Amino acid sequence: MTIALILGAYFAGLLAKQFSFPPLVGYLFAGFALHLAGFNLTADVQLIADLGITLMLFTIGLKINIKDLIARQVWGSALSHMGLWMIACLLINGAMGALGLLLFDLTMLETAILIFALSFSSTVCVIKVLEEAGEIRSRQATISVGILIIQDLVAVGFLVIATGVLPSPWAVLLLLLPLIRPLLDKILAATGHGELLPLAGLMLALGAYALFELVSVKGDFGALIVGMVVATSPKASELYKSLISFKDLFLIAFFLSIGLSALPDSYMLFLASLLLLLLPLKFLLFYCVLSLLAFRARTAFLSALLLANFSEFGLIVVALSVKEGLLDQVWLVVLAITAAQSFVITSLLYKNAHVFYARLSPFLLRFQRQKATDSSTIQKVPGANVLVIGMGRVGRGVCESLERQGIEHVWGVEVDKHRVALLTDVGINNVVHGDADDYEFWEAQDLSTVRLVMLATPNVDEIINIIKQLRLAGFSGRIAAIAQHDDERETLLNHGADVAFNYYQEVGHGFAEESKHLFS
């Protein structure tokens, strides 16, 4: 069975990639195809899937700034949307019942549980989409992940109420976890850079899971919290990168498990398709709530598009309700199909989200509040000749090299506001906070003086999108980009980059250039 799952996942993911779909679309279909072929969900596959979710939440924690999470706009958006969703769906259900249009007979309690389960958005889907787009540090990522965490807290509360299992009195000691951060910093520093680092990450994630379960608190929530504790460590970024491949590999089992868990009949598929009609309502409610809370139109649009799906947490809510005899088993299968279909829709729509926004922005900006001042307020770059997009190690190296060559008015653009603050603290002042994926960012700049834009970001899809936004904004200068592989280099050239450098080859050239004086 193991080899069948691996082959099925690989070839389905490869086929999806050939048609420019995200691989997760292939994994979802592979699960259903394998189930149709006679394979069922086993304890081993479920264990790997659960491990993937635990690692995912731990790595999310490594990227979270607690100040962003506790912002009124974040928790206000999450709770307001959930309340409005419940009211709107109950009103729709009541209206359809009055008109005799209901296709299934549910009690008010059953209807409320189902609507509540559908109110959650998928953490797994959103994170995968953001990572594939290279936007995990973007403003919409911060907002979406914050809302997802608030939703997860609501789900944990529901599980406590539904099961009647209260956390142990010892759970209060978990509040002391931030005090062990200095110890964790020392452990990670001593770990070094080899295989011990991802092993340390697994130890922390699974150890946190076990610790929280020990005091009757959901283990996945523990992995998230410990990730947030470690987030300020100097090793956090390196730890995140060391775990990405493991997390992505284990999450394949999660997508397979959806299809392997149940095979729907035609009636279930029909019900799932009907529930999908609620996705536009979910998007609209998120967009309205985020706009009313004074987010920019672009932030509201992209965040709403990311969150317009149904969640694996909804499956947990329904599974528990089935176990308690509150819902029929058929709804667990229906919701699994609905969630899988919503994952596909989100992943496909978000691939062109920035193009959609650029075309819709004249209309959407009419609804942007005048006091829309989220922390992504656009900063202008004064009189730049060269713009370097992405101020990580590569971007900083590019700026330093250009300045050594006497090139003036070189400015960096960085999407991570915390990194901008760190750079400013060490005396690097020619950097602004901005999202290069944002058409409005480029529209606000005076590009007439800019001769060259250098894209020092590692994600090819993000680079392609930035090139599109630059051209839409009327930029006529030259564009240089970096790629990690030769096929990616060709892709970037075909999409409008004037020059695309192979990252590893250029590192070698730079190393040789810096070392040649040793021969003299």
**Mean pLDDT computed over 174-201:** 91
Separation CA 361–CA 473 (nearest Å): 13
Q: What is the mean pLDDT of the chain?
A: 86
Q: Report yes or no: 375 and 300 within 8 Å, Cβ to Cβ.
A: no
Q: Which of 436, 449, 384, 447 is nearest to 410 (CA)?
A: 384
Q: How confident is the model at residue 388 (pLDDT cuts 50, 70, 90)?
A: very high
Q: Which residues pair with 389 in a beta bridge?
A: 413, 455
- Determine how β-strand 386-389 pairs with β-strand 410-414: parallel
Look up residue 375 and give its amino acid. Answer: S
User: CA end-to-end span of the chain, whole Å?
Assistant: 63
Report pLDDT digits (tens) over 427-453: 888 899 888 888 778 888 888 889 999
Separation CA 452–CA 88 (nearest Å): 50
Q: What single-letter DSSP state applies at residue 277?
A: T
Domains and CATH numbers, the chain: 2-367 (1.20.1530.20), 386-519 (3.40.50.720)
Report pLDDT digits (tens) over 254-295: 889 888 877 778 888 888 889 999 999 999 999 999 999 888
Separation CA 209–CA 225 (nearest Å): 10
Separation CA 456–CA 414 (nearest Å): 10
Q: How confident is the model at residue 375 (pLDDT cuts 50, 70, 90)?
A: very low
pLDDT for the residue numbered 226: 93
Q: What is the token pair recorded at 331?
A: 């709804």
- Cite the DSSP H helix spans in 405-502: 417-425, 439-444, 460-472, 486-494
Q: Is the pTM of this model over 0.85?
A: no
pLDDT for the residue numbered 144: 92
Report pLDDT digits (tens) over 458-513: 788 888 888 988 888 888 899 999 888 888 888 899 988 998 888 766 666 665 66
Report pLDDT digits (tens) over 58-100: 998 887 777 767 778 888 999 999 999 999 999 998 888 888 7
